[in-house]
Structures are given as structure tokens and as C-alpha cells.
Structure 1
Amino acid sequence: MPEPKKGAVVITGAAGDLGSHLVSKYAEDGFTVIAADIEPVAKRERVVPLVVDITDREAVFALAARAADQAGGLVSWINSAGIFVPTDIAEADEANWHRTIAVNLTGTFFGCAAAFEVMRNEGGGRIVNLGAVAGRRGGLDVHPAWAASKEGVHALTRVYAAAGAPHGILVNAVAPGLIESQATQLFADEDRERLTESHPLKRLAHIEEVAAAVRFLTSPEASYVNGTILTVDGGANVGH
């Protein structure tokens, strides 16, 4: 299997738990990593931090143009940015609906569109979106916009996979269950305990386990994987 081309990898949500882990791993692999987030990311070897609001279409397309100018061009784009609002469904508000859809779904759309434009001109590449198991079967204790936005991400993934294939652009998504992260720390302790105890493995996913699935989808071994929503939930979805 040939070594992957060492160009630029764009990671949105680069200041988050999953995003920062991916930034480190791709930098260690020798890629130039453009670490994009609305929060500042520390500059270090092979990491180019950029403050970007992914709900700003022009800013996202400018990000893609900058990645294309890197040595080796844009090889992978990972839409990792997202927000997560725990709430009782009876208290789900309109403001968080609009905010969640804007970041999780519209931001992913802008990322896919910007990466697609560059990769089509460069002869191919990989796009990986972050979906969620909740996008397939819903979820309790979180704003309904979470599941709605993530099912939208899954649909976007399939649309861009079909459009990208003739241009050598492979588009896939990873759909994790709940991850041990700052986001799930927002749950009340009793809710976290209940979610953990009801899981077949009696634990939530680790960041490293989800990151490994993302990295697989950008690897040479995934050269025939396209339009897939890769579930990483430890079997919680079995039977649903």
C-alpha cells in the first residue's frame, strides 16, 4: 500500500477534545495541519492555527484556499466542529436550535463545499464528517437539534460522496456514541452514571477510539470506502 501524500489536513473544531487529538496525530504523521477553530489553538511544529467561524461561508472557503497553497495541497478535510446542549426536551429552546443547526449542519456543509471545490481541482482527496449515533436513532437528555443536525450531516456525507467519486474525492462520516469529553461532562452526574451503566461495555467511548476511525477513513487502507457512516458506539446501537 503506498504511503499517503504528505500535504495539508484541515481540522475544524481543532480546540476541542477530539479535534486537538487529531491535530496532534496528523502532525506526528508528517502532515501540515491547519487547525481551525473559533477558539485560538497553540502554534507548534507542523500546526498552522487559524481562528475561523465555520458558520461564515467566506471564511471557510478562504480556509480551503489557504490549505490548497500548502506544499502538497489539500489532502484531507475533517469537519470535527460541533456543539452539544444537554437539556430536557420540554425545555428545548429556539436559540439553541438555530445555533446547533448553524454550527453542526451548516458549518459542515460549508466545509464539504469548500473542500470539494479545492479537491476537484487538485484531483481528489478525503473528507470526513463527524456525525453521531443520535442522528440515526434520536437521543434523550440533549437538545433535539443535536440528532436533527447529525442526521443532516449523514445525508450531506452521502450527497458529497456520490458527487465526489468521479473526481477521486472520498467522503465518509464517523458516527460515535457518547464520548468521554468536556461535552459529556455537561450532563448531571446521575445522568452520566445512568448512561454508562446502560451501555453494553459499561463505559463511554474514548477520544482515541473515535479518532482512530477518523484516521482510518483518511488512510490508504480506506481507498475503496465512500459514502459510509462508520458507527463507533461499542454496540449500544445493536437492536435499535
Structure 2
Amino acid sequence: MTTTADGRVALVTGAGGGIGAAIAARLHEQGHRVALLDLDGDAVTDLSGALDPHGRTALAVRADVTDPHALGAALRAVRTTWHAPDILVNNAARTAAGSVWDVTVEEWDAVMATNLRSVLALTRLCAPAMRERGWGRVVNLVSLAGQQGGTLAGPHYAAAKAGVLVLTKVFARELAAHGVTVNALAPAAVHTAAVARLGASAVAAAARTIPVGRMGRPSEVAALVAYLVSEDGGYVTGATFDINGGAHMR
């Protein structure tokens, strides 16, 4: 995969841990300058410092993706440090387990704001500069739940991720003629710290339901993102990539 001499500028949301941290690290390894955005400011500060102790190619940005003003300020910080992002990875997510009969309207709106509205807001903030430059990449992290209607992470989470699948196609059509691709990745169970907290027996039981016999690794998701944001990924847009160990085949 090829990159420009000084690397593109990438913005990764939910970069404080798990899949988001793996994506940020992989893009930085590929030579990109990476802005790591998360509500947990300490987590992204620690990771950006580990990636680049000198602070030249990694930038920690604390922001709540449900707050439009915070997102605007975050984009201004990235532009001031480097320039408007060439690459946007919408990874920030919120889950809230519970029955569809028990979800409150307030919780529904909060989960939708994190998982769906933030994708709309950030893409509309970042895409105009990509369109003007004639090059850009947007990758949205969705979920097997959004494809199959699974409710383990909450019915509102599944509904929001299904919405992101459609929004991915809408933006892909709008931006395709301008050298900007928009794609989605739909992981199933991926072994993160949050999953590990469920306990070894629960993790083993979940792995047995996956045809390949194990959970995914964050690095595997990050590798697919790295391809999609590369020069070689320019002919792929409006697509949803399954990365689920065979849990959902089509």
C-alpha cells in the first residue's frame, strides 16, 4: 500500500482503546499523521504519547461526539495542527444492553447520538475539504448487530448501526465523483478489554459460536481499514465489509 511522502492526516474517533486504538496505531505505522479523538482524554493522551513522544505525528483530542460544538472545536484543532483530515474513521460507539420494551426515550436518543448522528455530523464536517482536494477516505465501523438485528448490545445500538450502513451508501454516492470513498466495516465479536471483562468462560462460549473458532483481533480490523484508506482502495466505495469469522455469510 502506498502513502504520500509525509502521510495523510487521519482522524479516528473512539481511539482511546480497543478497535479504535488499533486503527489509530496501524494508520500511524503506515506513515499517516493521526488525530485520536475520544471522550477519555487521558486514554488518547497516553496513546498519542506512545505513538509519537515528540507530538509531531500524533494528536490527542478530547471530545464528546454527541456535542456538535465539541466536534467543531476538534476539527479546528486538527486543522490548526496540520490540515483538515484526509481520512475519517467513525469508530466511536455506545452500547446499552436491555430489552426493546425497556429502553427509555432518553437512552434511545443518547445511543443514537453517539452511534449514528456523530457519523452524519463528522462526515459533513470533514468531507467538504476532501471533496475540494479531490481525495478522501471515510470508513464507518458498523456491526453484525446492524445487519442481523442482534440486541445483545441493545436494540438502539443495532438500529443505529443499521442506519450507519445506509448513511454510508448515501455519502458514497454523493462523493464518489470527487475522489472520496465511503465504506463500512461490520465486525462480529472482537477480543478487546471490554470483552475480556466478561470472563474467560463467557469468551470461550462466544468463540464456539463463530465458525473459525475464535474471536477477532483488533489488529485484523485495523488492517482492513488500512487497505480501504490507501491509494489501492480507491475503486471501493459504498461497500460493507464483513469481518466476523464466518458468523454471517452472504
Q: TM-score, normalised by structure 1?
A: 0.89
CA distance in 2: counterparts of 1:57 and 1:26, whole angstroms: 26
- Sort the Cα spacing of 1:220 and 1:71 in 2 relative to 1 into closer, same or farther, 3 A: same
SS at match of 1:49: strand
CA distance in 1: counterparts of 2:222 and 2:2, whole angstroms: 22
1:116-168 per-residue CA deviation (whole Å, 9 max, x = no partner) reads: 12212222210111011111111143310111010111111000000011221
Instruction: Report the equivalent of 1:117.
Output: 128
Deviates more, 1:224-233 or 1:116-125: 116-125
Q: Shift of the alpha carbon at 1:70? A: 4.9
Instruction: Report the equivalent of 1:3.
Output: 3
Does 1:232 pair with 2:243? yes
Deviates more, 1:201-210 or 1:87-96: 87-96
Output aligned runs, 1:194-209, within 5 Å. 194-209=205-220
CA distance in 1: counterparts of 2:223 and 2:2, whole angstroms: 19
Contact between 1:88 and 1:141, CA under 8 Å: does it hold in 2? no
Q: 1:63 aligns with which of 56, 60, 74?
A: 74
Identity %, equivalent residues: 28
Does 1:48 pair with 2:59? yes
CA distance in 2: counterparts of 1:70 and 1:118, whole angstroms: 16
Does 1:101 pair with 2:102? no
RMSD over equivalenced CA pairs, Å = 2.3
Contact between 2:179 and 2:234, CA under 8 Å: does it hold in 1? no
Deviates more, 1:184-193 or 1:212-221: 184-193
Query: Structure 1 unaligned runs (5+)?
Result: none
Number of matched pairs: 239
Instruction: Report the equivalent of 1:184.
Output: 195
Contact between 1:77 and 1:115, CA under 8 Å: does it hold in 2? yes
1:43-82 per-residue CA deviation (whole Å, 9 max, x = no partner) reads: 4321110111111223323433443455465221111111
SS at match of 1:237: coil
Does 1:155 pair with 2:156? no
CA distance in 1: counterparts of 2:16 and 2:117, whole angstroms: 19
Q: TM-score, normalised by structure 2?
A: 0.86
Query: Structure 2 unaligned runs (5+)?
Result: none
Contact between 2:151 and 2:158, CA under 8 Å: does it hold in 1? no
CA distance in 1: counterparts of 2:214 and 2:101, whole angstroms: 27
CA distance in 1: counterparts of 2:28 and 2:204, whole angstroms: 35
